[in-house]
Amino acid sequence: MEECPFCRIVKGDLPSQKVYEGERVVAFRDIRPQAPVHVLVIPRRHVGSLLELGDADGDLAGELLLTAVRVARQEGVDRDGFRLVVNTGWRSGQTVGHLHIHVLGGRIFRWPPG
Ligand code: 5GP
Ligand code: ZN
């Protein structure tokens, strides 16, 4: 767990551009942005993926989602539209094993995703 890059970001051991800091949730800019706005919303606590959320984590799950919407508003992409992505497992493209919601905006997105 010590090696988890997002736990290191939460602790401040790894620098990041934070855009929101709550008691349980943090949001920071993606290091390799895939859109003009690309922010990651994560729980402070290490949770490996959506699959590790338990029945007692409803409030945390809601807070993560509401924070993603707050960030979209804050970044000014709410009116034109934005996309939330939660890759879960390697086949989906998850590369960091700490739950994160991608908030993507500022350009047009296609469907289906790649
Ligand atoms: P995933 O592929 O797991 O859904 O998304 C992981 C995201 O984390 C990628 O978009 C990647 O660019 C981003 N990322 C990986 N390491 C770091 C880091 O050290 N700092 C920041 N700010 N973003 C990171
Ligand atoms: Zn972690």
- pLDDT value at 45 more than 90: yes
- Residue 2: pLDDT band by 50, 70, 90 thresholds? low
Distance CA(32)–CA(91), nearest Å, equals: 20
Please determine, for residue 61, whether its predicted confidence score (pLDDT) is greater than 90: yes
91, two tokens:
């086949």
**pLDDT at residue number 71:** 98
Q: Which two tokens stand for residue 74?
A: 């804050």
Phi, psi of 94 (to 5 degrees): -70, 125
Residue 1 predicted with pLDDT over 60: no
Look up the pTM and report it.
Answer: 0.98
Residue type, 107: R
Q: What is the pLDDT of residue 110?
A: 97
Asked if 102 is an active-site residue, the reply is no
Mutate to test the pocket of ligand 1, among 49, 84, 94, 95 (most ligand atoms within 8 A of CB): 95
